[in-house]
């Protein structure tokens, strides 16, 4: 700014122009005080010397004095700036190194949490599939055995009655009284009673929601971090597990709860959520408790229906993404 002000030839030309009624001495004094600086006239001793010691050897506040002061200030500021640049470069390098280290740790954390979620999902699905298959076989064998057990008990009573009658004929004849005894005798068949094992119910197996890209994961791992160091929140998506919200929609009853369903088979629409104690609906436009981003379930094929029946309680109302 100073360089532009004092290096402006047109502006300087206006300074040296003499006003029409300006006396010569006044004109010369004006030029001298403006360009050369303050005069030491009338001053003695130290004051006179200070007045005449502007930078460059001329008076104070002259063009040269103001220019050199600004130049020195600019050089000092420039030097300070360069020092700050060097300092900031070192800090930036240190920051980048720490950031790279933190990003690496986050990558490891994201990878581990994603792997755990996928392993849990696979384990839950394998368990559900195994349980349903074994339970189906067991129920079939149990029903068949109970039917056979009832037949054997009936046969046992018949055989015991026949044995009684045969014993009655041992003397060569049998009376009506002996026949009634054989008919009304209570023949026990406790030894034919089968004690069936109590089958365990399907244990709850939930897929954890603490894996990359889910709201719960971001809240648990990133919410407490400084605003300038939030990490790579969406850098590592967990493709092996599709996230799905489980928070009931606003306006739902307090007892309304939604949870992710572990699917025992393929389901083309995507993840499945089961909601209980929620709003009942029968049309797509009805106000529902469906979590945000989900809709009322709609199986698209016979395989979808098989998966639903194999994976869920029929009494539950289901919702899918």
Summarised one tens digit per residue, pLDDT across range 87-96 is 999 999 999 9
**Residue burial 242-254, b: 16+ Cβ < 10 Å; e: rest:** ebbbbebbeebee
pLDDT at 111 over 50: yes
Summarised one tens digit per residue, pLDDT across range 179-203 is 888 888 888 889 999 999 998 888 8
> For tokens 């046992």, what's the residue?
156
User: Span 221-245, mean pLDDT?
Assistant: 81
pLDDT at 319 over 60: no
CA 112/CA 227 separation, integer angstroms: 25
pLDDT band per the 50, 70, 90 thresholds, residue 59? confident
The rounded percent of the chain whose pLDDT value lies above 70 is: 91
Decide: pTM greater than 0.95: no
Quote the DSSP letter at residue 210. -
CA 74/CA 66 separation, integer angstroms: 12
> For tokens 């030309």, what's the residue?
13
């Amino acid at each position: 700014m100073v360089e532009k002000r004092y290096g402006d030839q047109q502006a300087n030309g206006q300074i040296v122009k003499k006003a029409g009624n300006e006396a010569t001495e006044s004109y010369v004094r004006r030029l001298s005080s403006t360009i050369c600086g303050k005069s030491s006239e009338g001053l003695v001793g130290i004051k006179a010397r200070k007045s005449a010691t502007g930078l460059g050897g001329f008076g104070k506040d002259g063009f040269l004095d103001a220019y050199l002061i600004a130049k020195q200030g600019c050089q000092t500021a420039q030097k300070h700036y360069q020092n700050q640049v060097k300092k900031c470069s070192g800090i930036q390098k240190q920051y980048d190194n720490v950031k790279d280290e933190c990003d690496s740790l986050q990558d490891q954390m994201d990878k581990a949490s994603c792997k755990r979620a996928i392993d849990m999902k696979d384990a839950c699905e394998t368990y559900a599939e195994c349980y349903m298959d074994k339970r189906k076989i067991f129920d079939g064998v149990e029903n068949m055995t109970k039917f056979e057990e009832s037949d054997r008990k009936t046969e046992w009573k018949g055989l015991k009655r026949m044995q009684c009658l045969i014993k009655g004929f041992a003397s060569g004849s049998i009376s009506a009284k002996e026949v009634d005894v054989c008919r009304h005798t209570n023949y026990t068949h406790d030894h034919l009673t089968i004690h069936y094992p109590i089958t365990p119910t399907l244990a709850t197996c939930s897929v954890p929601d603490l894996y990359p890209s889910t709201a719960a994961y971001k809240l648990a791992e990133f919410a407490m971090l400084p605003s300038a160091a939030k990490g790579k929140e969406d850098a590592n998506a967990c493709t092996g597990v599709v996230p799905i919200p489980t928070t009931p929609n606003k306006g739902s009853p307090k007892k309304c709860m939604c949870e992710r369903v572990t699917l025992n088979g393929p389901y083309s629409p995507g993840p499945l959520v089961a909601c209980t104690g929620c709003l009942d609906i029968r049309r797509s436009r009805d106000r529902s408790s469906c979590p945000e981003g989900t809709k009322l379930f709609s199986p698209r094929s016979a395989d979808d229906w098989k998966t639903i029946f194999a994976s869920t309680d029929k009494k539950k109302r289901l919702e899918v993404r």
